[in-house]
Amino acid sequence: MKAVFIPYNQAQKERLIEILDRMSIRGFTMWEHVQGRGSNTGDPHYGSHAWPTMNSAILTVIPDEKAEDLLRRIHALDIQTEQQGIHAFVWSVEKMV
């Protein structure tokens, strides 16, 4: 199993949920109003007067064989809407109950 953490600009929510639905990835946990900034060129997302946009984040645990396809689709979304910002981080899950 793989855990995939996906921080994204709130404007990407519907597109990201659509990707998960198309891949039959049902289970996930979502956090709204996540603050942060991109590591290279991303603008801050602080929900403040100066930086009003906000991020959200999703964590999903999926079978190993779905991880690469999910990353590919997230990367394609990022390329289409580069100014919005979306990333995906993957790590192995040793156990789950």
Domain boundaries, the chain: 2-92
For the chain, 97 residues long, give each residue's pLDDT as a single digit of tens. Answer: 999 999 999 999 999 999 999 999 999 999 999 998 877 777 888 889 998 889 999 999 999 999 999 999 999 999 998 778 899 999 999 999 9
Instruction: Kindly state the tokens that stand for 86.
Output: 């979306």
CATH fold of 2-92:
Alpha-Beta Plaits (3.30.70)
pTM of the model: 0.90
Dig out the tokens for 46 from the structure: 């602080």
**Sign, CA torsion 45/40/5/81:** positive
Distance CA 45, CA 56 (A): 10
pLDDT in tens, 36-53: 887 777 788 888 999 888
Q: Write out the two tokens for 37.
A: 């900034």
Q: Give the length of the chain.
A: 97
